[in-house]
């Protein structure tokens, strides 16, 4: 008898920011396949005896191949297990959710998607700022800072990203932000546009750095560190 897979968004890292439904699925799971950013205190919600399998991908580190992760999901479910695929933030946002959904649908495995608090929303909350502002930031846009090869994507909509009336959130962009910043300024974004570097949001190591686009690019050109981070820029309100 086939089991069931729950794709669970764990939020930014603080176990208290998980939804009630997410916690329920973890407490009843036979196996939990978790990303690196969904480990630590979040796994305290798992029931005793559940298989805990780390399948996270981090830039510059050895990581499981995507087809291996998808195969694990299918194999556990075909064995009758209740499986949680635990993803940081919201799984549908730069979380490789689609590839795993395709694998489950091809194998005719029943599944559900439980959303989580996006890390961008958690970062803004931690900084005490809104993502939108009534007169100066009527639009929010999310973009990934690297492609499958780890480089800045070549097909970015620079006109949209250089809009100084939008709040822009860059995921996984610490390494490529210096180049992105050059392109933004070349497309008309003022170099003194406010920027926020939010590292390890929702964890004990959380650090928030308020700066400008040009100053942040200069910093990240020589000093990046290993903490996971988001970059926000635009008409950000003061915290």
Catalytic residue among 14, 30, 35, 90: 35
Q: Specify whether 35 is catalytic.
A: yes
Catalytic residue among 24, 36, 57, 164: 57
Cα–Cα distance measured from residue 180 to residue 217, given in angstroms and rounded to the nearest whole number: 8
Q: Specify whether 57 is catalytic.
A: yes
Q: Catalytic residue positions?
A: 35, 57
């Amino acid at each position: 008898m086939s089991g069931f897979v729950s794709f669970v968004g764990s939020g930014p890292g603080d176990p208290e920011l998980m939804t009630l439904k997410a916690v329920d699925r973890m407490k009843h799971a036979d196996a939990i396949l978790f990303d690196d950013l969904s480990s630590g205190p979040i796994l305290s919600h798992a029931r005793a005896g559940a298989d805990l399998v780390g399948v996270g991908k981090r830039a510059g580190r050895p990581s499981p191949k995507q087809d291996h992760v998808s195969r694990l999901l299918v194999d556990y479910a075909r064995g009758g297990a209740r499986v949680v695929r635990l993803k940081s933030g919201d799984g549908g946002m730069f979380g490789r959710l689609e590839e795993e959904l395709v694998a489950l649908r091809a194998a005719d495995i029943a599944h559900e998607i439980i959303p989580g608090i996006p890390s961008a929303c958690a970062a803004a909350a931690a900084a005490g700022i809104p993502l939108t502002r009534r007169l100066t930031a009527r639009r929010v846009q999310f973009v990934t800072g690297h492609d499958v090869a780890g480089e800045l994507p070549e097909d970015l909509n620079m006109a949209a990203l250089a809009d100084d009336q939008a709040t822009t959130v860059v995921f996984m962009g610490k390494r490529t932000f210096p180049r992105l910043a050059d392109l933004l300024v070349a497309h008309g974004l003022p170099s003194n546009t406010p920027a926020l570097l939010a590292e390890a949001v929702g964890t004990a190591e959380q650090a928030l750095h308020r700066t400008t686009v040009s100053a942040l690019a200069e910093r990240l050109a020589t000093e990046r560190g290993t903490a996971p981070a988001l970059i926000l820029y635009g008409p950000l309100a003061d915290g």
